[in-house]
Structure 1
Amino acid sequence: MTPTLTEIQEGTTKLLVPVEEKLLKKNPVFYNPEMEFSRDISVAATRVLKPENFCDLLCASGARGVRIANETGTPVIANDINPLAYELIKKNISLNNLNDTKIIASNLNAQELLTGKNYDFIDVDPFGSPVHFTDSLFRSIKNRGTLAITATDTAALCGTYPKACRRKYDSQIFHTEYYNELGLRVLIGFATRNSLKYDTGITPLFSHCTRHYFRMYLRVRRGSKYVNENLKNIKYIQHCFSCLKRVYRNLDELKENCSCGGKFNTAGPLWSGNFADAEFCEDLAAEIESGIFNTKGEAQKIISKIKEEQEIHVPYYDIHKICKKLKVPSPGMEKLTQNFRENNFKISRTHFSGTGIRTDAGINEIKEFIIN
């Protein structure tokens, strides 16, 4: 069934998109207006990175691929196996007067498109988990190329369905107040562990958890040097539900009991390093500021927070959760921040939660600052 179409505009690009009351996998052609923020970041990231080519692997309506071609000038392959999506991609290419030197529509199976090909930038935005594509992605990406990967199976990654996380991502998970950060770190860790067998290392340029999805931009580099660096960042997180302590440990360092007398719960393997690059965040923010983006305000706020929180790797603390545990009212964030800094502790806010902080202080110091 051919969907009813309406014309919208994202950035400087006109798009014909299906009119749908609900976003369902069974829809004949998929377009998600809530992903405009993600597409804005993609455009800005492509402008910063200046890849030789861009492969939009699961293009659906063509929104991302057509925007990349129209707003960055990077040559694009916009692919979707769905014949209705393929026809809509071609309509959106025509709507923006783009020729085949700027963008080519493709109607292939994703694995078929990647086989025997090499790309500078590959974007995969599946409905659900990206795990079925990771091997092909690492075989097809060029050295120093970029992978942009989305995951929407948040229930598995965030601990609601731990067996699904173990099955898909080969990682143990539990549900805690920083569930969204754990999910992102499991996802990056999974991609990293998959890259190692191709003698490839990754550097997270920009990763975030927004609304219903996770998104990561990974710089890929070949060679044992980068592989060995990545291995240092694959760890486990141990969390005590009694005192709320959390700590990264290697497999051979895991402990059963917390110093408070409680039991540790263990999640992992997962990524323990930076999930973004500060310099890339600055360049990304500059592109967002200078460009035409409908989500500019939201993007600037999130980029700023993500850049700031890279100095501290330990997962964020939820102040409301700690206050509930202590049975005390929540303090003002400004005063709390001042107390930490006056006592020479690092502290930042986090994009994961409005009530979360990142700090190098331990849980006992945090509790003291809250009480006093």
Structure 2
Amino acid sequence: MENMAEEELLPPEKEEVEVAQVQVPTPTPAPDSARVPAPAPDSAPASAPTPASAPAPAPALAQAPALSPSLASAPDEAESKRHISIQRQLADLEKLAFVTEGDFDSASSLNSESLDAGNKQSCPLCPKEKFRACNSHKLRRHLQNLHWKVSVEFEGYRMCICHLPCRPVKPNIIGEQISSKMGAHYHCIICSATITRRTDMLGHVRRHVNKGETKSRYIAASAAKPPNEILKETDTDVQVCPNYSIPQKTDSYFNPKMKLNRQLIFCTLAALAEERKPLECLDAFGATGIMGLQWAKHLGSAVKVTINDLNENSVTLIQENCHLNKLKVVVDSKEEEESDDILKEGEENLGNIKVTKMDANVLMHLRSFDFIHLDPFGTSVNYLDSAFRNIRNLGIVSVTSTDISSLYAKAQHVARRHYGCNIVRTEYYKELAARIVVAAVARAAARCNKGIEVLFAVALEHFVLVVVRVLRGPTSADETAKKIQYLIHCQWCEERIFQKDGNMVEENPYRQLPCNCHGSMPGKTAIELGPLWSSSLFNTGFLKRMLFESLHHGLDDIQTLIKTLIFESECTPQSQFSVHAPSNLNKQEEYGVFIKTTDDTTTDNYIAQGKRKGNETITTLAKRQKTDVSTEHPPFYYNIHRHSIKGMNMPKLKKFLCYLSQAGFRVSRTHFDPMGVRTDAPLMQFKSILLKYSTPTYTGGQSEGHVQSASEDTVADKVEMSVNDKAEPSSCRRCTQNEARSLSRMKLP
């Protein structure tokens, strides 16, 4: 009998860790007491050799776990066997309670009627000492609550918790097997290892998935893991891992919702490539490498792309995606220089990409770059100092922040911890988030004796993107530091203004606010927010060049957004216009610096190994013109819905912009809020014009426009007084709205 059992043992497979090997015992009739798949050490047969007369068996083969035959129809029987604790459905697990060992083939013929026969049965995954035989309904409840609910799901199978003595028993010093208390454990469907805790089992299976080792020897070949999915974006193919859109379940995260972010950064790099070539570009957090692949594939020899990631699986995936897009992966500089000469005949190579595996801070300290993009998980403040340490003069740093919970004032303590800012939830919270990030970037640049010029800042639903140009020198750093100020915000009417420059303590800071809330409301009505970036958030010239590049490369998705940014930077209502190449290609001015954009422009005109070269550039930077305050767009915006009056139909947004413009104010829409209005008009005038061109709701669709009234001046004065006293809390706003409605009724004849 022992010889027969030894002949049918499965050959042991090569495993890096010691796991319990599955054995297939010979089907022999067994009494009811032999329900467990292998006898316990105390119940060893008498014919078994003692440790003194024969060598002890190997620890991995000491016990033989029970096997399930539900995959007996698979082509390879040895490949399809698995432990009985691994089932597809709960009904399959219930059927095992009515099958004796060696007669598992009859489990498929059992139905629900046989399960309710009333005979007492034992749990197939628990020894009789732990769970006694009981009726079918109690057994079903036991299997569902104590085995099925705590199972681990993988590719349609459930790895249920097992209490059988399946784990190997290690012998003691003299070779005797010691009976130990067996705890609950799981059987891995991939490598047959036994894992005690469910969290450890989840991590164990996740490591198999990340390594691609999901083809189990217990599952038929038809149920093997499908290959990685290949996605396409902007004519670039990228291979993604399973669960690529869930960062907690994959190493290489790919978010399709960040397509606008990638296209904005691509247009930024394309516009920079017109100034000087070639550019040293870095994608510090590559993940799948989609962003760096787009740079190298569409810009070609104008850029030298480096994609970095600390995760080994991500680096491997980046290299595979490079080969998928016919891009060569280089390891060192010598290989990069000789790459153009070693192309095989007929081979198409679109460019070279250098893939590195190191910490982003270390890489940015070791090498100099012209363009750096930071897109870490969460906040990026931990990498700003390294980014500005070796960035070249007139280079560009783009920062994508996805910690919107802190930036959008949902976790204010986190914003204070990461950015050192005091913020609250306001109607202009998205622009507030953009100015917080710019202020953090400006402080990091100033610590490295560098200044910044903000090219544009975008705050959408999922991210905040800030792109700045680096200006070397302590003078630029000092001017940048002066633009970081505190903001005075009224909590009642949400009027706001940046605090005046100076170190002297002001006796009454409420005088700086245009509203009169402090005089009409008791207590303290305003708070101090910041520090924030107080200067412009957009560069009109650079945005127009980005729009031209988006048209040149056929990026239709972001053209509307870039046009909105251009109108917002100029603070003008939207109008029709045509986009052409710059009329003077040889000379453009940005921030007082004249830059060349012709094709023969080289890096020598700007930089030499990260240092400024030539007296002409130094003189131009020293004599650059100061930005005119009147040309900058007004800070922040008002939401027209938030300030609408109850019982009044407000005018259309486009018409309201015309009304504000006719009143002599600068006005434009904003990408931060679809119903936001960026204007230099005070809130009092904003509400006055909004009320003037609103119509009562009960007039039955009266045409929009000014409501004629005999007592117009008197009503207007009353409205102005009510707007001045508009600083009421949320509980008192209803009273003011009722007063405005009564005033509007007074205007009717």
Whole-angstrom CA distance in 2 between matches of 1:116 and 1:21: 31
Given that 1:43 and 1:71 are in contact with CA atoms closer than 8 Å, whether structure 2 keeps it comes out as no
1:270 corresponding residue in structure 2: 532
Per mean C-alpha deviation after superposition, the further-off stretch among 20-29 and 196-205 is 20-29
2:432 corresponding residue in structure 1: 182
**CA displacement at 1:350 relative to structure 2:** 0.1
Structure 1 residue aligned with 2:652, among 332, 345, 354?
332
Structure 2 residue aligned with 1:260, among 513, 516, 520?
516
Given that 2:245 and 2:255 are in contact with CA atoms closer than 8 Å, whether structure 1 keeps it comes out as no
Matched, 1:149 2:385: no
AA in 2 matched with 1:341? S
Other structure's SS at 2:543 match: helix
The 5 A counterparts of 1:263-342 are 263-293=525-555, 296-297=556-557, 299-310=558-569, 311-323=632-644, 328-342=648-662
Structure 2 residue aligned with 1:83, among 291, 298, 312?
312
Whole-angstrom CA distance in 2 between matches of 1:210 and 1:127: 17
Q: Deviations over 1:46-76 (max 9, x none)?
A: 1110162111101001011111111112111
Other structure's SS at 2:382 match: coil
Whole-angstrom CA distance in 2 between matches of 1:36 and 1:351: 17
Given that 2:426 and 2:494 are in contact with CA atoms closer than 8 Å, whether structure 1 keeps it comes out as no
Other structure's SS at 1:133 match: helix
The 5 A counterparts of 1:196-275 are 196-250=446-500, 252=503, 255-256=509-510, 258=513, 259-262=515-518, 263-275=525-537
Given that 1:59 and 1:79 are in contact with CA atoms closer than 8 Å, whether structure 2 keeps it comes out as yes
Whole-angstrom CA distance in 1 between matches of 2:408 and 2:281: 30
Other structure's SS at 1:216 match: strand
Distance 1:180 1:111, change over 3 A: same
Per mean C-alpha deviation after superposition, the further-off stretch among 227-236 and 253-262 is 253-262
Runs of 4+ in 1 over 6 A off after TM superposition: none
AA in 2 matched with 1:268? G
The 5 A counterparts of 1:357-372 are 357-372=677-692
1:356 corresponding residue in structure 2: 676
2:271 corresponding residue in structure 1: 48
Structure 1 residue aligned with 2:258, among 35, 45, 48?
35
- CA-based RMSD of the aligned residues comes to 1.8
Other structure's SS at 2:509 match: coil
Structure 1 residue aligned with 2:236, among 4, 7, 13?
13
Whole-angstrom CA distance in 1 between matches of 2:438 and 2:402: 14
1:70 corresponding residue in structure 2: 297
Identical residues among aligned pairs (%): 29
**CA displacement at 1:312 relative to structure 2:** 2.0
AA in 1 matched with 2:642? K
Q: Deviations over 1:178-222 (max 9, x none)?
A: 111100100001110111111100111122012210011110111
Given that 2:245 and 2:254 are in contact with CA atoms closer than 8 Å, whether structure 1 keeps it comes out as no
Whole-angstrom CA distance in 2 between matches of 1:41 and 1:359: 26
Whole-angstrom CA distance in 2 between matches of 1:117 and 1:28: 26
Other structure's SS at 1:189 match: helix
1:120 corresponding residue in structure 2: 370
Whole-angstrom CA distance in 1 between matches of 2:308 and 2:260: 21
Structure 1 residue aligned with 2:409, among 129, 152, 159?
159
More helix by share: 1
Matched, 1:103 2:424: no
Q: Which has the higher contact order (CA 8 A, sep 6+)?
A: 1
Whole-angstrom CA distance in 2 between matches of 1:130 and 1:77: 19
Structure 2 residue aligned with 1:58, among 254, 270, 285?
285
**CA displacement at 1:121 relative to structure 2:** 0.6
Other structure's SS at 2:265 match: helix
Other structure's SS at 2:381 match: coil
AA in 2 matched with 1:35? M
Whole-angstrom CA distance in 1 between matches of 2:228 and 2:470: 38
Which TM-score applies when normalising by structure 2?
0.48
Distance 1:198 1:250, change over 3 A: farther
Q: Deviations over 1:125-153 (max 9, x none)?
A: 01100011011111121121111111011
Given that 1:323 and 1:330 are in contact with CA atoms closer than 8 Å, whether structure 2 keeps it comes out as yes
Whole-angstrom CA distance in 2 between matches of 1:139 and 1:327: 57
Whole-angstrom CA distance in 2 between matches of 1:287 and 1:205: 15
**CA displacement at 1:256 relative to structure 2:** 4.5
1:94 corresponding residue in structure 2: 323
Whole-angstrom CA distance in 2 between matches of 1:48 and 1:170: 33
Q: Which blocks of at least 5 consecutive residues in structure 2 are unaligned?
A: 1-208, 213-226, 331-335, 337-351, 519-524, 570-631, 693-749
AA in 1 matched with 2:309? D
**CA displacement at 1:116 relative to structure 2:** 2.5
Whole-angstrom CA distance in 1 between matches of 2:683 and 2:470: 36
2:663 corresponding residue in structure 1: 343
AA in 1 matched with 2:326? N
Other structure's SS at 2:414 match: helix
Distance 1:12 1:171, change over 3 A: same
Other structure's SS at 1:175 match: coil
Whole-angstrom CA distance in 1 between matches of 2:282 and 2:245: 27
Per mean C-alpha deviation after superposition, the further-off stretch among 116-125 and 303-312 is 303-312
**CA displacement at 1:282 relative to structure 2:** 0.2
